[in-house]
Amino acid sequence: MKILFCGDVVGRSGRDAVIEHLPRIKNLLHPDLVILNGENAAHGFGITRGICDDFYKAGVDIITLGNHAFDNKEIMKSLDSDHRLVRPINYPAKTPGRGFTFFDLPNGKKIMIVNAMARLFMDPLDDPFAAIDDLLSKYPMGGSIYGIFLDFHGEASSEKMAMGHYLDGKVSAVVGTHTHIPTADTQIFPHGTGYQTDAGMCGDYNSVIGMDKIVPIQRFRKKIPTDRMQPASGPGTFCGTFIELNEKGLCTHIEPVRCGPRLMATH
């Protein structure tokens, strides 16, 4: 079983990078499941119905979100109806949408895709560890649940790595998003869970984490109100993570995927 995860898509540059590179990557790696984090896909803030449909047409199976999940109000109508669209599981009860979904495999078993948001330097949501514990008590790996993939959306590398070790052997893989910088720590933990602190972004890396450089630099230098940040508009680089699972749903191989004009390419 092979999973391709596409890191945070930022603005049009990121969308174009996915549309351009995903078909070739799929032909090269032959993933059975393609997951994409789309929370910054609409001009850097949130996602729209039309963008979701474009990603599905391009070959994406599941879209995860994060702290910008609700920035575009129009997507609220889709969060309950679109079972391929997943927001963080640890939002308060009765928040629109779902924190996990299932992808059906040809043999009748399922992969569970979970989205959770960290709390350190992030919005004060419910405890993600407790939320995952509760979910796994209902849907443990084994039986009909062949594998479990967690997109852990957070700022602090320590919190992401703690979650990875905490879930070692309980899920197939834990891959972080949100910082938009690909980390060099792809690894398999002792009990078989694949891990990477952050998959990086799909977007223009001649930027400040996907945004045009001028406004972020002004904010850091002057600490005064500035114009709204705008996504950088140069050629986008595709970043993600490729994972292979064994018959027990545990990770046997994990590697970064990078292609485009700015970072050292892996494929």
pLDDT by residue (tens digit) across 110-162? 999 999 999 999 999 999 999 999 999 999 999 899 999 999 999 999 999 99
Give the global pTM: 0.97
Of residues 30, 43, 68, 180, which has the active-site annotation? 68
| Residue 29 pLDDT greater than 90, yes or no | yes
68 catalytic residue (yes or no): yes
Helix (H, G, I), strand (E, B) or coil at 198: coil
Domains and their CATH numbers in the chain? 2-259 (3.60.21.10)
**In sequence order, what are the residues at sequence separation of 6 or more whose Cβ sits closer than 8 angstroms to the Cβ of residue 220?**
none
Which DSSP string corresponds to 134-189?
A: HHHHHS-SBTTEEEEEEEEE-S-HHHHHHHHHHTBTTBSEEEEESS-S--S--EE-
The answer for residues whose C-beta is within 8 angstroms of residue 234's C-beta and 6 or more apart is: 13, 204, 206, 207
| pLDDT, tens only, 175-218 | 999 999 999 999 999 999 999 999 999 999 999 999 999 999 99
| Beta-strand relationship, 238-245 and 2-6 | antiparallel
How far the first Cα of the chain sits from its last, in Å, is 20
Using pLDDT thresholds of 50, 70 and 90, give the confidence band for residue 223.
confident
